[in-house]
Amino acid sequence: MLSALQPASLAGIPANPPGIPQGISGQADPAPAPHLPCHHCGEPCSQGQFKLDSHSFCCLGCQTVFSLLRDSGLGNFYSIATRPGTRVDAAARPDRWAFLDDPSVTARLLDFNDERISRVTFHLPAIHCVACVWLLENLYRLHPGVGRTQVNFARREVAITFSPQKAPLSQIASLLARIGYEPSLTLAELDHKTERPRSRLGLQIAVAGFAFGNIMLFSLPLYLGLDSVTGPTFRGLFGWLSLALALPVVAFSAGDYWRSAWASVRQRTLTLDVPIAAGLAALYGQSAWEILSGHGEGYLDSLAGLVFFLLCGRIFQRKTHERLAFDRDYKGFFPLAVVRQTPTGEETVSISRLQVGDRLRVRHGELIPADARLLSDDALIDYSFVTGESEPVTRHSGDHLYAGGRHVGGAVELETLKPVSQSYLTSLWNDEAFRKGRNDSFDTLTNRYSRRFTRLVLAVAVAAILGWALAGNASRGLKAFTSVLIVACPCALALAAPFTLGTAQRLLARRGVCLRNGHVVEAIAKVDAIALDKTGTLTAASTTEIRFHGTDLTPKETAAIAALCGQSTHPYSRRIAQLAPASESLLVSGFSETAGAGLSAQVGGRSILVGSAAWLRRHDVPIPDSHPASASVLIAFDGRFRGAFTLDNTLRPEVDTLLHNLGQRFELALISGDNERERNRFAVLFGDHARLHFNQSPQDKLGFIRRLQSKGHTVMMVGDGLNDAGALRQGDVGVAVVEGVGKFSPASDVILDSQMVPRLGSIVDFSRRATWIVRVGFSISAAYNVVGISIAAAGILSPLICAILMPVSSATVVLFAVGATTLAARRFGLTSAAGPDLESETRNTKR
């Protein structure tokens, strides 16, 4: 990707945000021979363009930073690490950060604020090495308004204290941006701002561990046997000390167990904490009685150890969860793209690369990726994803448009005010409104299981204690009782599904297969029929051959048609739009598009129709029989038929093999809105028993899916996000294929990068393997419980052993889930290093 950027960066044009990609490329691969590396960021620069102090720079931005640091005595920056900088965009818009001074925004951002002093925490993705830490923590050198700054490298965050009078927030932000650390402000970050590191669990573990160690110390002599002389003095003393030490463990360390157990008892719902709490109570009661009555030493060491290990198990679980969450937010970016306006023209960029201040061109039906200001006059925005209110609202130039809205009508321009928030879009997508009626089987299974499980465990435990009591061995009975309660561990079971599915989702996301949530994996696994759209799915629109038949068009007319088609996102429209460069002079008014039929609008004072024969007829345009049957997109000017474009689709690479092997294993169908003329071609590809349906309206497609389902099939619908919305939602799995400009359709369960279409087969296989792994995970933990509980009931296991076994079992299941899934992904060739891997960067810095 770096190479792709070279021309832009050499021209000194603001190509892209200084961010991790550049930061790392600056680090990882030094520039090719002919170019000197930039003294600041290490990117290659043409000799002598920017020079200062006999250093050369790739751009004015980098040079500015250099002189800035030099003048404020921070020249060391360059000796701490080799070329530590990140590329700096000199031509940054001055007012870019103005919105930060809007009181509401400021209020949301600041951690702390009084009239003289404020503190803010920014997320700076560009932080990547020791030098960054050093520079940022000496930021006060660069601006008199800045005070203490503290970097958190792992989180790529910097906490800045500053005086709002001397330096408004916008100035701080632009200062950071100017030295190459552009703050990234996402809605998500704004919202859960104050997540304090939960030190509580750590403390609970510390207390438990401390008590455990010391109680061990006092129990050892008792195990080893005190000698006759000193014994009496110390047995009592040690007993009491242990009792005292165990108290905080029960009261503080095990607090959560009491709380949740109590809660669940009140709500009559048995959670797993009930047996554990019961076990703890039993242990402490027994021990206290033994010690106070001088009968024995009790099991306080077991108690403390037990709590200690239980908590360790917890922390392990949580760490893994956080890890998954992290990957989801930072690595699994939607493969969505938008059209960005640059001085040189338009470019298509992934929304993950979008930054504040970019000018976007949003076409009919496209999603507004981030909060933005409308530049065009009017726009009709459908906020149904956000608000559920399906009636589109009209917005005027300068209005604030919220992310998640969908634009209806002719293309509009807007300027982003906030960067894209991945997690925000995800939440949109996961919104109940778009959930299908299907229940997430593994969840419910897990729930049902654990409820029964808890009852069973309690029953066994009680049986054990009674049994032993009757057998006249009460103390062993108690041991059995607690052991059973402790050893029983449905957590393992509860973990199998989320960890497997979560991992699967994460791995797929890295390859541009974005699942709405983990349970989509299950759905995919069940699929036995696949319905494919043709255009844009099996065929690549961009590379299509295009020919015009009919009375030749004047350049002006071509331009008009192009302008009209430029408004639409249909693959054909986009192909035709390429015929002429977009020109501002032609304004398109009264645009309307009917999915699967065509477009109409006034362009340059002439009304134009573009679409199917049916579409033209609907507008009473007579179509001469002379025109070739193969024609696909017909054109009419002012109600008069002018001719038609024929577009010969070129198949995506590997599609033939894909269709071949899918044909073997699935009920395969093609449903296309186009006419029949390519039937034979596809008949060959699909094999004879496949069904090919052409001239399908969106309704037809939907109906077709219904029919398949009524025949008991589980159907995967693969199509482009928009024209097939209905079908996508109807399908048990809706796969939206995106190429270049994506159409974000909440109706879909999967957003598939067009590159990955040929891999459909292996994606399904992988999903099946993943669900299999979940089942194996279930059985592992089931087996563990059966064995563990029965041994415990026999009163052979000591509670302490149980306390160790329990987290171990959870760990095994989790490790198995994650490991096996990753292996499976590798086996089906779905792993790759795509996407920025923050971990490895952290390592890079330890040069």
Partner 1 sequence: MNVETFRYDNRIVRAFAIATIVFAIVGMSAGLLAAIQLFYPAANLNLEYTTFGRLRPLHTNAVIFAFVGNGMFMGIYYSLQRLCKARMFSDTLSWINFWGWNAVIVAAAVTLPLGLTTSKEYAELEWPIDIAIAVVWVVFTVNLLGTIAKRREKHMYVAIWFYIATALTVAVLHIVNSLAVPAGAFKSYSIYAGVQDALVQWWYGHNAVAFFLTTPYLGLMYYFLPKAADRPVFSYRLSIIHFWALIFLYIWAGPHHLLYTALPDWAQSLGMVFSLMLIAPSWGGMLNGLLTLRGAWDKVRQDPMLKFMVVAVTAYGMATLEGPTLAIKSVNSLSHYTDWTIAHVHTGALGWNGFLTFSMLYWLFPKMYRTRLYSVKLANYHFWIGLLGIMFYVVPMYFSGVTQGLMWKQFTADGFLQYPNFLETVIRLLPMHRLRAVGGGLFIVGVFIMAWNLYKTAKHGNFLADEEVQAAVAEPKHVPADKKWGHRWLEAKPITFSVLTVLAILVGGLIEIVPFYLIKENVPTLSSVKPYTPLEVLGRDLYIREGCVGCHSQMIRPFRSETERYGEYSKAGEFVYDHPFLWGSKRTGPDLHREGGKYPHAWHYHHMEKPESTSPGSIMPPYPWLLTRKLDTSSLQARIKALRRVGVPYPEGFETTAKQDLEAQAQQIVLGLKTGMIDAPPDREIIALIAYLQRLGTDIKAQALAETPATP
Partner 2 sequence: MEVLVLLIAASLALAGTVLAVFFWATRTGQFDDTTTPAMRILTDDPPAPSTLSPTLPQKTQDP
Minimum CB distance to partner 2 smaller for 175 or for 773: 175
Minimum distance, C-beta of residue 206 to partner 2, in the bound complex (Å): 6
833 contributes a contact to partner 2 by CB under 8 A: no
Cβ at position 93, least distance to partner 2 in Å: 14
Residue 493 CB contacts under 8 Å (≥ 6 apart), including other chains: 446, 449, 450, 453, 777, 778, 781, 782, 813
- Which residues have a Cβ under 8 Å from the Cβ of 6 and sit 6 or more positions away? 44
> Phi/psi zone of residue 507: left (φ > 0), alpha (ψ -120 to 50 degrees), beta?
alpha
**Contact partners, residue 373, CB within 8 Å, separation at least 6:** 398, 399, 400, 401, 414, 415, 417
DSSP string, 324-336: HHHHHHHT-----
Site map (CB under 8 A) of partner 2, residues 139-178, x = contact: -xxxxx-----xxxxxx-------------------x--x
The whole-angstrom separation of Cα 493 and Cα 810 is: 8
Burial class (CB in 10 A: 0-12, 13-18, 19+), 18: buried
Residue 177 CA to residue 549 CA, distance in Å, equals 53
203 binds, among partner 1, partner 2, none (CB under 5 to 8 A by kind): partner 2
Length of the chain in terms of residues written: 847
Nearer to partner 1, 150 or 342 (CB): 150
**Of positions 192, 266, 319, 847, contacts partner 1 by CB under 8 A:** 847
Secondary structure letter of residue 489 according to DSSP:
-
Burial pattern 701-740, b for ≥16 Cβ within 10 A else e, equals: bbbbbeebeeeebbbbbbbbbbbbbbbbbbbbbbbbbbbb
71 binds, among partner 2, partner 1, none (CB under 5 to 8 A by kind): partner 2
243 touches partner 2 (CB under 8 A): no
846 binds partner 1 (CB under 8 A): yes
Beta-ladder partners of 554: none
Q: Which does 142 bind (CB under 5 to 8 A by kind): partner 2, partner 1, none?
A: partner 2
> Which entry of partner 2, partner 1, none binds 178, CB below 5 to 8 A by partner kind?
partner 2
Q: Are 183 and 136 in contact (CB under 8 A)?
A: no
Q: Which of 6, 12, 140, 331 binds partner 1 (CB under 8 A)?
A: 140
Q: CA distances (Å), 500 to each of 29, 92, 305, 735, 806, in order?
A: 35, 44, 30, 21, 20
By a kind-dependent CB cut-off of 5 to 8 A, residue 823 interacts, out of partner 1, partner 2, none, with: none
Closest CA to 584 of 568, 613, 601, 563: 563
* Contact partner at residue 220 from partner 2, partner 1, none, CB < 5 to 8 Å by partner kind: partner 1
Check binding of 73 to partner 2 (CB under 8 A). Answer: yes
Nearer to partner 1, 269 or 840 (CB): 840
Closer Cβ to partner 2, 106 or 242, answer by number: 242
3-state secondary structure of 575: helix
Backbone angles phi, psi at 716, to 5 degrees: -105, 120
The β-bridge partners of 362 are 412
φ/ψ of 310, rounded to 5, equals -55, -50
Stretch that binds partner 2, among 199-207, 455-463, 615-623, 655-663 (CB under 8 A): 199-207
Q: How far is the CB of 197 from partner 1 (least distance, A)?
A: 13
Residue span 172-191 as binding mask against partner 2, x where in contact by CB under 8 A, dash where not: ---x--x-------------
Paired with 254 in beta bridges are none
Q: Which of residues 224-283 bind partner 1 (CB under 8 A)?
A: 224-230, 233
68 binds partner 2 (CB under 8 A): yes
Closest CA to 645 of 583, 566, 563, 553: 553
Q: Is 186 in the site for partner 1 (CB under 8 A)?
A: no
Q: What is the dihedral of CA 493, 496, 498, 503, to 10 degrees?
A: 170
Asked if 608 is part of the footprint of partner 2 (rule: CB under 8 A), the reply reads: no
Q: What are phi and psi of 91, to 5 degrees?
A: -85, 40
Least distance (Å) between residue 330 CB and partner 2: 16
Count the residues of the shown chain that bind partner 2, applying the rule CB under 8 A.
Answer: 46
- Of 6, 49, 82, 163, the one binding partner 1 by CB under 8 A: 163
- Report the site for partner 2 in 306-335 (rule: CB under 8 A): none
Residue 72 found at the interface with partner 2 (CB under 8 A): yes
Give me 748's structure tokens.
């879909």
Among 165, 230, 344, 439, binds partner 2 (CB under 8 A): 230
User: DSSP code of 96?
Assistant: G
**Does residue 195 bind partner 1 (CB under 8 A)?**
no
Our CB check for partner 1 shows the closer of 141 and 321 to be 141
Judged by beta carbon, residue 117 or residue 325, the one nearer partner 1 is: 117
* Bridge partners, residue 283, by sequence: none
Binding site for partner 2 (CB under 8 A): 52, 63-64, 67-68, 71-74, 76, 80, 130-131, 133-134, 137-138, 140-144, 150-155, 175, 178, 197, 199, 202-203, 206-207, 210, 214, 229-230, 233-234, 237, 241, 842, 845
Residues that bind partner 1 (CB under 8 A): 112, 117, 119, 130, 140-141, 144-150, 161-163, 166, 196, 206, 209-210, 213, 217, 220-221, 224-230, 233, 846-847
